[in-house]
Amino acid sequence: MLLAETQFRVHTESSPVSLPATVDADKDHELMIAVRAGEIRRLGDLFERYHKPLYGFFVRLTNQPAASEDLVQIVFYRILKYRHTYRDEGKFSAWIYHLARKVAADHFRKSASTPTPADPVNFDDHPDQGPAPDAQAATTDDVALMRRALARVTHEHREVLVLSRLQHLNHQEIAKLLDCSVGAVKVRAHRALKELREVYFKIRKEQAA
């Protein structure tokens, strides 16, 4: 029973929000080199491959779907602006997440000083909405709960959770992105899962009360 559980691995590589498979990494790199050389329109292909995972990344991280669209746009704008800094030995997925993290950091710094209007998508989190109808599937309930829990964990932990569990980056890639050791990423991932669990059960308890 326990052994069977250890085999449990959720790899949703076919999922539209996950990163393109690594076999396409060379193609991404080729496209980006072409963009750098002046074939700007080739970025369209990269947009089609990356904008959804990127959007998912920002939505999970900020919990603001409308603002997340702008953030995706900013990332692609920066790709164009800084395309000359893309290195021959670079990896496009690492680079785009590097830019995305910076864009997100800028966003959080800005929103810390200026309060952002509430996103209508979050309205369903409002307590006034009352308990979900019995007809609603338990899984949907779970997803809403998980979304709220994810929004409550610290930014550091949320980031590592989003990158590892939702964007399916491996620990080496995350370590490179966060500029720390692989071991540190694992520790952070473990703590993040623990915090998420605590927050999750706390919310569930609040809702039950």
Partner 1 sequence: MNCQRVQDNFIDYQDGSLPPAESAALRTHLASCPTCQREWSALQEITRKLDAMPAEETPSPRLREQFYAMLETHQRDADSVSPFALARSRIDRFFAALLPSTPALQFAGALTALAVGVFAGARYFQPPAPAPTVVVDNSAKHEKEIAELKSQMNDMGKLVSASLLLQKSTSDRMQTVLATMDLKSPDRKVLSDLVGTLALDPSVNVRLSAVEALAQHADDRLVRAGLLSALPRETAPLVQVAMIELLTSVRETDAVPIFDRISRDETADKDVRESARRALAVLRAPSPTDPLKNNQPSNPLVS
Binding interface with partner 1 (CB under 8 A): 2-3, 5-6, 8-10, 12, 15-17, 38, 40-41, 43-44, 47, 51-52, 55-56, 59-60, 65, 68-69, 72-73, 76-77, 80, 84, 87, 139, 142-143, 146-147, 150, 161, 165-166, 171, 186-187, 189-190, 193-194, 196-197, 200
Note the Cα 89 to chain centre separation in Å.
25
Query: Which residue, among 53, 87, 28, 90, has the nearest Cα to 165 in the 3D structure?
Result: 53
Which of these, 156, 146, 141, lies nearest to 201 by C-alpha position? 146
Other beta carbons less than 10 A from residue 82's beta carbon: 12
Closest to 169 (Cα-Cα) out of 189, 147, 139: 189
Measured from the CB atom, is 46 or 93 closer to partner 1?
46
Cβ distance to partner 1 smaller for residue 85 or 116: 85
Token pair of 21, please?
């498979």
* CB of 112 or CB of 137, closer to partner 1: 137
Nearer to partner 1, 56 or 99 (CB): 56
Question: How does DSSP classify residue 165?
Answer: I
CB of 70 to partner 1, least distance (A): 9
> Taking the complex as a whole, how short is the minimal distance between the CB of residue 93 and partner 1, in angstroms?
18
> Is-contact 53 100, C-beta < 8 A?
no
CB of 113 to partner 1, least distance (A): 25
Minimum CB separation from partner 1 for residue 81, in Å?
9
**Burial (CB count within 10 angstroms: exposed 0-12, middle 13-18, buried 19+), residue 65:** middle
Kindly report the number of other CB atoms within 10 A of residue 23's CB atom.
7
For the bound state, the minimum distance from the C-beta of residue 26 to partner 1, rounded and expressed in Å, comes to 20
Shortest distance, position 135 Cβ to partner 1, whole Å: 18
Residue among 1 and 113 whose Cβ is closer to partner 1: 1
Nearer to partner 1, 66 or 118 (CB): 66
Cα dihedral value 119, 178, 165, 172, nearest 10: 160
